Amino acid sequence: MYKIVSKTTLNNTTDKMEIYAPFVAKNAKPGHFIILRVDKAGERIPLTITEHTDETVTIIYQKLGYTTSQLGQKIVGDTVEDFVGPLGQEVEIKEASTLLAVAGGVGAAPLYPQLQAYHAQGTKVDLVIGAKQQRYLILLDDYKSICNKVYVCTDDGSQGTKGFVTDFLKQHLKNHTYDHSIAIGPLIMMKHVVSLHKTFNLSTDVSLNPIMIDGTGMCGNCRVSIGDKTYFACIDGPDFPGEKINFDELISRQSFYTEEEHMCQLEELVSNDKK
């Protein structure tokens, strides 16, 4: 059992949780993720390690599915059944003088440890961070402490520039150059950012954590076509160069379990009504 040390509500859908897991913590590197189960009957879900100390691991999750909603009901002092990791491949921190980072929504969470590592090696980092509305922006203060510039975009214009991150990037890249870039967020966002960056000859790494389910490669949902080869995001990644990824294939597969998730949420509502 793994004890919850602290918990912070970031917005109405997103929580930040610190869990006591010293073995995972001392071996964690940027790009790694964990698998947890809330209880013995629960499903296994993968979540990226956002931060860690010598003894604790911090995760950020959206309360959108059945299991993450269960996790959201936990309070400080409670425990989770399993907390396995670190899993996946450590991301390669490239030698770069300048880096452009792009975060969409909760994608700001897995991006954070990578930018910490780039900042630590002396890379000048500019961040473009986007969300639907101001209230869904996360980790802004943390990013401001490690980034040279932080540019904010919101769909409704409630903070920063109104519009998508790609709208901002089309203008920004006309006047700014970078050695490398990273984009993490919804698949459709990463697809368009990679495509746009290609026109500026800017290489882009992405994280395919949104398509992971069981975290071991056994379910097959996270298989990804990159050029003429097939990889598994949870085993070979989750971080990959974005230029040759078949994003359309991934976007199509992401909806496979929509009905099952809906049924789980209905069962949760019925169960709560009976309590």
Residue 261 has pLDDT above 50, yes or no: no
Give me the residue spans of the domains in the chain: 2-87, 98-253
Residue 33 has pLDDT above 70, yes or no: yes
Assigned CATH for 2-87 = 2.40.30.10
Reported as a pLDDT band with limits 50, 70 and 90, residue 198 is very high
DSSP letters, 95-157, are: --SEEEEEEEGGGHHHHHHHHHHHHHTT-EEEEEEEESSGGG--SHHHHHTT-SEEEEEETTS
pLDDT the model gives residue 210: 78
pLDDT the model gives residue 267: 45
- Enter the DSSP assignment of 44: P
Q: In DSSP terms, which residues pair with 140 in a beta bridge? A: none
Question: How, if at all, do strands 124-131 and 161-162 pair?
Answer: unpaired
SS3 at position 13: coil
* One-letter amino acid for residue 275 of the chain: K
Residue 273 has pLDDT above 60, yes or no: no
Residues in the chain: 275
pLDDT in tens, 42-70: 888 899 999 999 999 999 999 988 889 99
SS3 at position 199: helix
Mean pLDDT of 101-120: 95
pLDDT the model gives residue 214: 64
Residue 257 has pLDDT above 60, yes or no: no
| CA-based nearest residue to 54, from 24, 85, 84 | 24
- Enter the DSSP assignment of 38: S
Are the CB atoms for 183 and 102 separated by under 8 Å? yes
Cα 260 to chain centroid distance, Å, stands at 23
Domain 98-253 classification at class level: alpha beta
pLDDT in tens, 206-242: 999 877 776 666 666 778 888 889 988 888 889 999 9
Question: Which residues, at least 6 apart from 201, have a Cβ–Cβ distance to it below 8 Å?
Answer: none
How far apart CA 47 and CA 21 sit, in angstroms, is 14
Reported as a pLDDT band with limits 50, 70 and 90, residue 254 is low
